[in-house]
Structure 1
Amino acid sequence: MKNAKIYETHVHTKNLETAINFYESLGLRIAFIIEDRRVAFFYLGEEGSREQMLGVWEVRKEEFTKSHFAFSATYEELLNIPNYLKEKGITLRPSFGLKPTEPIVHSWMPAASYYFYDPDGNSLEYITLLEGEPIPQLGPVHLSTWLKHNENPQS
């Protein structure tokens, strides 16, 4: 199992149609909707790719639980995420005590991220792995701080 990849993940929603509109606005493609089960499946990735899937299940209020997952992005894509989400009316959120004025770096990995919520409050993230060695003692920091401490800045 160590070489396994995650094929699909699932989140709950309180309103399937709202969730479908939201995830389509992020560029996910409908794979299939099962109306009587109130679930929509989306393909992620390039057009025609079926290597990753997201399932969005409408549940009753008392069954609703929030989730978290991350979308992989290139370094260049990550730098454009604030504009991309702003155009869609989606607000970035602070994380780890840091404002979303620039990507937040998990220095133990290292990886840079932006965080936001879907309409149901599920925590979503765009993330890219960074070049360079981990510096776990830095903790979560903004990208500019990471770059000052890293000898191999992104190209």
Structure 2
Amino acid sequence: MKNAHLYETHVKTKNLEEAITFYQKLELELAYVIPDRVAFFWLGDSKRKEQMLGVWKVSSDEFVKSHFAFQVTFEELVNTPKYLAEKGIEVVPSFGLDASEPVVHAWMPAASYYFVDNDGNSLEYITVLNDEPIPELGAIHLSTWTKAQENR
């Protein structure tokens, strides 16, 4: 199934109503709710029904934080801090780097900003860069990546 695409992913929440509010702030379209149990959101164009996110209510004992990433364009990534700030959401440090600019995962390469939902699940906006990987650089700020590309 090499050509399979991820259709659906799930995260857990301790408060479904707060989670619904949070994900709607990110402009995800609410697809369906089973009250006090789960909310499903369409990712991307809801008419195409290509991807969805499920947010499941669980007890504190069952709760485990998780992570997933939204793919965005480079322009959207650059605007992420402003976009999230307008919604009362902060970008957070990642991989030991502050959130002053995107973090590049040099092995891919891809640039990212990280943030958390109301339950502390790790979320990411990511864009794949059209450069050759330099894995030995690890995780670095975008400005450092740009300088490394200029010096190649």
Which residue matches 1:49? Answer: 48
Unaligned 5+ runs, structure 1: none
Instruction: Within 5 Å, give how 1:63-142 maps onto structure 2.
Output: 63-142=62-141
Which residue matches 1:39? Answer: 38
Aligned length: 151
- Structure 2 Cα separation of the partners of residues 150 and 2 of structure 1: 31
- Structure 2 Cα separation of the partners of residues 17 and 102 of structure 1: 31
Which residue matches 2:142? Answer: 143
Q: TM-score, normalised by structure 2?
A: 0.96
Compute the RMSD of aligned alpha carbons.
1.2
Which residue matches 1:15? Answer: 15
- Paired residue secondary structure (1:97): coil
- Deviation readout 1:63-93 (Å, 9 max, x if unpaired): 0011100000000000000000000110111
Contact 1:117 1:123 in 2 (8 A): yes
- Structure 2 Cα separation of the partners of residues 46 and 79 of structure 1: 22
- Paired residue secondary structure (1:63): coil
Contact 1:43 1:49 in 2 (8 A): no
Amino acid at match of 2:80: I
Amino acid at match of 2:5: K
Deviation at 1:47, TM superposition (A): 4.7
Unaligned 5+ runs, structure 2: none
The percentage of aligned residue pairs carrying the same residue is 67
Deviation at 1:16, TM superposition (A): 0.3
Q: TM-score, normalised by structure 1?
A: 0.94
- Paired residue secondary structure (2:20): helix
Deviation at 1:12, TM superposition (A): 0.3
Which residue matches 1:29? Answer: 29
